[in-house]
Amino acid sequence: MIRDLALAAKASCSLEDQESLVPLVLQLKKLTELVTKQGLLALENELTQIKDKFLNLGIQLIIDKVEPENIQDILDSDIYYNPSNGRELLKKIIIREGLLRIQAGDSPRNVLICTKVFLGKIDDSAFRNP
């Protein structure tokens, strides 16, 4: 998990911006459920539906069986060296955390817990399945 106070300050955003990222956290949980049931290669079928370039890149790296440390380095480099602030930066941080946990084989519940923590202004009820 990224623990960089300067980065956290740059990723600070409004309640509305955090609310807009709830579907992303739920999507990461859903992807984890898919991997749990069908394996990592099942992510390949999801790529065409994923429009976010950062998420798509991370999933491609996982499918290609890139080492976890290398995926972390690639995603971290994008976070640190491509300018983004607020909601967009927070979005990348959440994606990074979720993908690394998916690759590590974490449970859907753990992926949910470890990604929703970045949305501290949001009530837990927003993350319950509809």
Which tokens belong to 33? 């459920």
What's the CA gap between 70 and 99, in Å, rounded? Answer: 13
**pTM for the whole thing?**
0.92
Is 124:96 a contact under the CB 8 Å cutoff?
A: no
Per-residue pLDDT of the chain (130 residues; tens, 9 = 90+): 566 778 888 889 999 999 999 999 999 999 999 999 999 999 999 999 999 999 999 999 999 999 999 999 999 999 989 888 999 999 999 999 999 999 999 999 999 999 999 998 898 889 886 5
For residues 78 and 99, what is the distance between their CA atoms, to the nearest angstrom?
A: 14
Cα distance between residue 77 and residue 71, in whole Å: 10
Q: Under DSSP, is residue 119 helix (H, G, I), strand (E, B) or coil?
A: coil
pLDDT at 66: 96
